[in-house]
Amino acid sequence: MWLFLITEVLFFGGLFLAYMLYRVWYPVAWAEASRELDIVLGAFNTAVLIGSSLTMAFAVRAAQTGKQRATVVWILLTMALGLVFLIVKYFEYKEKFEHHHVPGPDFAFEGPQAGPAQIYFSLYFLMTGLHATHMIIGFVILAVIAWMAHKKRFSPEWYTPVEISGLYWHFVDIVWIFLFPLLYLVDRAGHFA
């Protein structure tokens, strides 16, 4: 699992690199476009995802100590928090469509920074979209694990599936830990504006 996560680090790493390069080229557009994002929703989702990492850690702990019922409950809680995250993300995306901040023929952005701002929003959708895809995959994996735990397949001697799906979930959390400041918090202080 760790090996897979290493490939994932560089998968997302490429996007982070693209983000950094364009940010160096278009700092003003980055500042203006990032201020369009809802910082309250972003911070809320960060808290939700960190909370889901906590419940996931407890799910693994319950599996380690042989508490099958508790494992199921903690995984279901983790899934619920994941769902909250995705629902908030849905409303954020919806708002982008309404404001024509989705790159494409309908894209609209006031001021001379419209071109680079479109690049910003392309990266925004690519990075958060890829992250959300990982969340949906994680959600499905957790559903399977919860079912297996419900069927009492795990024991303190063998709980590997719980452990590695936990690793995956925490990894997705880590990606968001970096996406949040990079996409939402960049230049809030008005350094470039």
Return the residues of window 44-63 that contact other proteins according to CB under 8 A.
46-47, 50-51, 53-54, 56-58, 61
Residue 170, both tokens: 């925490």
* Amino acid in the structure at residue 11: F
Rounded-to-integer distance, Cα 176 and Cα 62, Å? 25
Residue 108, both tokens: 């609209």
The yes or no reply on residue 5 touching other proteins (CB under 8 A) is yes
Return the residues of window 152-181 that contact other proteins according to CB under 8 A.
156-160, 163, 166-167, 170-171, 173-174, 177-178, 180-181
Nearer to other proteins, 43 or 137 (CB): 43
Cβ distance 48 to 84 under 8 Å?
yes
Cβ distance 52 to 174 under 8 Å?
no
Rounded-to-integer distance, Cα 157 and Cα 149, Å? 14
Point out which residues bind other proteins (CB under 8 A): 2-3, 5-6, 9-10, 13-14, 16-17, 20-21, 24-25, 39, 43, 46-47, 50-51, 53-54, 56-58, 61, 64-65, 156-160, 163, 166-167, 170-171, 173-174, 177-178, 180-182, 185-191
